[in-house]
Amino acid sequence: MLKKDGVLYVNDFLLNNDERNLNRYNAFKERYNKYGVFESSDGGVFRHHKEIYI
């Protein structure tokens, strides 16, 4: 839900192969039953995709 005149930004990101993202993907793989999904420290849930998906 957005407040009046709020902005929702939607973007797709490709899977990354740097250590930070690999650690995030692996840490949340079982919780979301998907590779590439992770949570941020403020509670956001994000998913990076394979290029073929995009």
What pTM value is reported for the model? 0.74
pLDDT of res. 11: 84
Give Cα separations from 45 to 5, 17, 19, 25, 28 (angstroms). Answer: 23, 19, 19, 11, 10
Q: What is the pLDDT of residues 7-54, one digit of tens each?
A: 988 888 999 999 999 999 999 999 999 999 999 999 899 999 999 988
Asked whether 11 and 5 are in contact (CB, 8 A), the reply is no
pLDDT of res. 12: 87
Q: Where are the domains of the chain?
A: 13-49
